[in-house]
Amino acid sequence: MIDYITEKVKDTPRYFRFGGIDVVQGDDLPDNVNMDAVFRTIEAALPPHFLRKLKGVKIKHLDFFNDRNASAFYKDGILHITSDQDSNNDLINDICHELGHHVEELYPSEIYEDTEVAEEFLRKRKQLKSEIQSEGYWVSEYNFQELAYNDKFDNFLYKRLGKTMLRMVTAGIFIRPYASVSLREYFATGFEAYYCGNKESLHKVSPILYKKIDTLHNLV
């Protein structure tokens, strides 16, 4: 349950606990974003075993987010989330996505040992390569079979192709374009979709990933 320790006053952080986890709100959020509602929604959706070993959540805008055009990251057991949010749903999506990376660290064998998720991802990468080639792009210098994140490949997708073309060539293959970046982002983006209102779409687009997350959800 959410346990409030102190209320935020001007220019001081607000601290509370969520599922036994320390949450620090270092910056003011927009008036239309309600932290209480956000964490109650997450608490209702996620099983408590996903919060095991999570060290904390920090909500504060950092220069890193501007430099990397990002809104959140996971490091050393802590979720770092920007306070620059458009709505409750945006904040929920960011938190759930980064929790996906945490869950990935909690259950690496359960997720990847049978290689089924990786194989599904690589089949989609093969489809993606074909779609991009059909649009007239030269792709021989990029390794579509690489599972790990690669800066060069990411730049190809987001800078050379661009967001509009990437959205078009990933439609029906990946739950959303960012899922194509790496195996880890494939899992985290699917995790976000599962808990943020896109379960049916995930089941249709990535049935193996859906089944894996569903199994993890029901672990005792």
CA dist 3 and 79 (Å) reads 18
Q: What is the CA radius of gyration of the chain?
A: 18
Instruction: State whether residue 24 is helix, strand or coil.
Output: strand
Going across the sheet that includes 21-25, the strands are 2-6, 14-18, 21-25, 56-59, 78-81, 72-75
CA dist 145 and 158 (Å) reads 18
CA dist 112 and 104 (Å) reads 9
User: Cβ(44)–Cβ(14) under 8 Å?
Assistant: no
Residue 19 pLDDT? 81
CA dist 199 and 92 (Å) reads 15
Residue 7 pLDDT? 47
What is the domain partition of the chain in residue ranges?
Answer: 2-106, 114-217
For 18, counting Cβ atoms within 10 Å of its Cβ (0-12 exposed, 13-18 middle, 19+ buried), the class is: buried
Checking if the pLDDT of 57 tops 90, the result is yes
Name the least confident of 10-14, 97-101, 121-125, 194-198.
10-14
CA dist 9 and 7 (Å) reads 6
Residue 93 CA to its chain's centroid (Å): 7
CA distances for 149 relative to 52, 74, 145, angstroms: 26, 15, 11
What percent of the chain is modeled with pLDDT above 90? 88
Residue 11 pLDDT? 54
Residue 177 CA to its chain's centroid (Å): 12
Residue 30 pLDDT? 95
| 141-199 confidence digits (pLDDT tens) | 999 999 999 999 999 999 999 999 999 999 999 999 999 999 999 999 999 999 999 99
Checking if the pLDDT of 4 tops 80, the result is no
Name the least confident of 8-12, 53-57, 167-171.
8-12
| 75-120 confidence digits (pLDDT tens) | 999 999 999 999 999 999 999 999 999 999 999 999 999 999 999 9
Residue 16 pLDDT? 83
CA dist 189 and 194 (Å) reads 9
